[in-house]
Amino acid sequence: MTVQLNVDNKEWDEALSLASELHLDRDEVLLRAFRSCLYDMRLERQKKMTVAEKEQQHRESYEKYPVQPDEFYVDEEQLAEVWKDL
Ordered alpha helix ranges (H), 1-86: 9-21, 26-48, 51-64, 76-84
pLDDT exceeds cutoff 90 at 34: yes
Per-residue pLDDT, 74: 84
Percentage of the chain surpassing pLDDT 70?
100
Query: Is the Cβ–Cβ distance between 39 and 47 less than 8 Å?
Result: no
pLDDT tens digits for range 35-65: 999 999 999 998 999 999 999 999 999 999 9
